[in-house]
């Protein structure tokens, strides 16, 4: 069991609770954290701080895997409670989530930065009053002029998207392991990938 004063890395996957959201684009954070848990024999089953959590060791370090159960727009409530309870510094908070602003299958790792268009990240930054924490963004690349954004992120994956997204999730989990073992910069150097770009969906310079 992780004690309050222990040094711990908190890894938060963002998503929406409930079976109907399980395999949607907006739940890629949940999906990635569940795969990480599976690799390391961690059960994400305890209910604490408005979240499902699991405790264990990754690369010899104490890790707390978190799936907020507040729905996406209020994810920050759960994250703030956990950060305060365990006394975690922002540098030891990793957040994993889907990102419409980068191409499908891309993986972008950053040490800090703005929330972009992601409401879960907006909630976390608002609650913590701090944006100086690492984040792992998995691209879902919404096309301009397509379905409304809310409909797009809450939809499933097309056959064409499945392979690049699966590959990006696997790489994301690898990157989290690298970051825990060797630091976020090592993960950025080794695992950042751009995915496929097009004139309609070309990545803009990152602000973080």
Q: Out of 26, 49, 118, 191, which one is annotated catalytic? A: 26
Q: Alpha-carbon distance 183 to 113, whole Å? A: 17
Question: Per DSSP, what are the bridge partners of residue 97?
Answer: 137
For 108, phi then psi, to 5°, come to -125, 125
Residue 50 Rama label (left phi>0; alpha psi -120 to 50; beta): left
Q: Give, as one character, the DSSP assignment of residue 11.
A: E
Active-site residue, 26 included: yes
Known catalytic residues? 26
């Amino acid at each position: 069991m992780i004690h309050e004063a222990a040094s711990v890395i908190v890894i938060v996957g963002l998503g929406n609770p409930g079976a109907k959201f399980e395999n949607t684009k907006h739940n890629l954070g949940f999906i990635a954290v569940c795969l990480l848990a599976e690799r390391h024999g961690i059960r994400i089953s305890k209910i604490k701080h408005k979240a499902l959590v699991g405790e264990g060791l990754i690369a010899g370090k104490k890790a707390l895997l978190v799936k907020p159960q507040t729905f996406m727009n209020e994810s920050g409530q759960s994250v703030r409670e956990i950060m305060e309870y365990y006394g975690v510094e922002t540098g030891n908070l990793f957040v994993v989530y889907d990102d419409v602003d980068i191409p499908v299958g891309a993986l972008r790792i950053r040490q800090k930065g703005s929330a972009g268009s992601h409401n879960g990240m907006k909630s976390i930054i608002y609650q913590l009053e701090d944006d100086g924490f690492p984040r792992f963004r998995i691209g879902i690349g919404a096309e301009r002029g397509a379905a409304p954004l809310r409909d797009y992120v809450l939809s499933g994956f097309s056959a064409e998207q499945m392979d690049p997204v699966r590959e990006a999730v696997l790489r994301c989990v690898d990157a989290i392991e690298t970051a825990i073992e060797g630091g976020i910069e090592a993960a950025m150097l080794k695992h950042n990938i751009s995915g496929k770009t097009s004139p309609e969906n070309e990545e803009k310079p990152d602000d973080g």
